[in-house]
Amino acid sequence: MSAKKKLAKAPSRGNSLRWIFCLVCFVMLAAYVPFAAVAVALGLLPTLSIVVIDRSVEKLPTYAVGGANIAGIIPFLPDFVLHGRHIDLVHDLLGTITMFAAMFGAAAFGWVLLAIMPVVMQTFADIESKRRRDKLREQQQRLMHDWGPQVNCETKAEAR
């Protein structure tokens, strides 16, 4: 087994520190505002599922879905932190479908980004390569005009 494969399988220390940091933040949130922790745990279900499912080394689906999912949760956190001690307000917040639609919709947007971005980037790469090809052909035409058809590789191949 090559050293590169061994490095890919070994868990990095930075990754475990990141998980510990997230766990400590969640415990602190649960200690201060327990209902906010429940809302965050419910809102992060798409991210937690993709963390379990994603086995790639780069973890691109995890970053795309997780980042979008966290962006969908953040607008609701101030309400939980400011009013999280009153059970009636928490019940009203957790009972609204718009909150969960925003959280899960943001995660769905992460999936859409993950599916569409390779196609978009390939399209831009194709456009750029066509532009570069046209520019080189234009330069070739100028050279043929200045120096004659002898500089064209295609005419030399046809002459043989």
C-beta neighbour count of 159 within 10 angstroms: 8
pLDDT at 14 over 70: no
- Per-residue pLDDT of 83-122, as tens digits, reads 766 777 777 777 888 888 999 999 999 999 999 999 999 9
Global pTM reads 0.67
* pLDDT value for 160: 52
Domain boundaries, the chain: 14-118
* pLDDT value for 7: 47
Characterize 1-35 residue by residue with b for buried, 16 or more Cβ atoms within 10 angstroms of its Cβ, and e for exposed: eeeeeeeeeeeeeeeeeeeeeeeeeeeebeeebeb
